[in-house]
Amino acid sequence: MAISIDSPPVPCSGTPVAGTAIASVINPCPGVSVNVNLSGSSNASGLAYQWLQGTNCTGPWVTISGVANPSALTPTLTISAIGGTTRGYRCRITCTTNGFVDTSTTACVVVQPWTCTTPCYGLSTATSIADQDILNVSMGSLNNTTTCAAPLNGSQGNAVGDSNRYANFIGSSGVPSPTIYTGLPQSFSVTVGTCGANVASSVKMYIDFNHNSVFTDPGEEVYSNNAIPSVNPAVTVSGTFTTPLAALTGCTRLRVVMMSTALGTINPTGSYGFGETEDYTINIIQPTQFDPAVTVISVPPGNCFTNSETVTATLCNYGTSAINLANNPVTITLKVIGPLGLTNYPVTVSSGLLASYGTACVPVVFNGVNLYAGGNYSINTSLTISGLSNGTTQNDSLNSPVTRINYRPTGGPDYQLCQGSIIPFGQGLLVSGCATPVNDSIEMIFNITAGQPPICTSTLAAPTNACEFASGILPVLPFGSSITLPAVMTVTNLASASLGCVTCVWPSEKRFSLFQGSAPPAVATNTFFPGLQGNAATTGANAQGYTYENTISPALIGTIYSTLGGGGLLKMGSWNTFNTTTNTHVMNYNGNTTVAKLKIYFTYVPANFQWYNLPAGGSVLYTYSPFNPIGVTGSGITNSNTPGTTTFYASCAGSSNCRVPVNLVINPTPMVIQDTLTMCEYALGSNSAVFDLTTLNGPVSAFNPSATVSYFGDQSMFLPVNNITNDTSSTNFIYSKSPIPLQVVFLLTVSC
Among 306, 222, 285, 305, CA closest to 257? 222
Q: What is the pLDDT of residue 495?
A: 80
Question: Cα-Cα-Cα-Cα dihedral of 299, 301, 305, 308, to 10°?
Answer: -40
Q: Is 165 exposed, middle or buried (0-12, 13-18, 19+ CB in 10 A)?
A: buried
Contact status, residue 492 vs residue 546, Cβ threshold 8 Å: no
| Statement: the pTM of the whole predicted model exceeds 0.85 | no
In angstroms, rounded to a whole number, what is the distance separating the alpha carbons of residues 311 and 398?
Answer: 14
Q: For residue 277, count CB atoms less than 10 angstroms from its CB and return exposed for 0-12, middle for 13-18, buried for 19 or more.
A: buried
Quote the pLDDT of residue 499: 45
Domains 124-285 and 440-604 share a fold: no
240 neighbors 187 (Cβ within 8 angstroms): yes
Cα 277 to chain centroid, rounded: 19
Question: What architecture is the 409-436+607-668 domain classified under in CATH?
Answer: Sandwich (2.60)
Residue type, 87: R
Q: Given this model, what pLDDT does residue 606 score? A: 67
- For residues 638-669, one letter each, b for 16 or more C-beta atoms within 10 angstroms of the residue's C-beta and e for the rest, the string is eebeeeeebebbbbbbbbbebbbebebebbeb
Q: Count the Cβ atoms, other than its own, within 10 Å of residue 172.
A: 7
Q: Would you state the pLDDT for residue 726?
A: 45
pLDDT at 457: 80
The residue type at 691? F
Query: Could you tell me the residue ranges of all domains in the chain?
Result: 20-110, 124-285, 292-406, 409-436+607-668, 440-604, 683-748
Give pLDDT, residue 710. 52
CATH class of this structure's domain 292-406: mainly beta
CA–CA dist 273, 132 (Å, integer): 10
Region of residue 376 (left: phi > 0; alpha: psi -120 to 50; beta: else): beta
Which residues of the chain carry a pLDDT beneath 70?
1-8, 66-75, 435-437, 497-508, 533-544, 578-585, 605-607, 670-752
Superfamily of domain 20-110: Immunoglobulins (2.60.40.10)
Query: Are 288 and 319 spatial neighbours (Cβ–Cβ below 8 Å)?
Result: yes
- Concatenated DSSP letters for 310-339? EEEEEEEE-SSS-EETTTS-EEEEEEEEET
Which of 197, 216, 230 is CA-nearest to residue 266? 216
Three-state helix/strand/coil letters over 351-381: CCEECHHHCCCEEEEEEEECCCCCEEEEEEE
CB neighbour list of residue 255: distance below 8 Å, 6 or more residues apart: 121, 124, 205, 206, 207, 215, 268, 277, 278, 279, 280
Separation CA 30–CA 9 (nearest Å): 38
The CATH code of domain 440-604 reads 2.60.120.1200
Q: What is the pLDDT of residue 583?
A: 52
> Which three-class secondary structure string do you get for 592-659?
CCCCEEEEEEEEECCCCEEEECCCCCCCCCECCCCECCCCCCCCCCCCCCCCEEEEEEEEECCCCCCE
What angle is formed at CA 545 by the lines to CA 540 and CA 550, rounded to 5 degrees? 130
The CATH superfamily label for domain 124-285 reads Immunoglobulins (2.60.40.10)
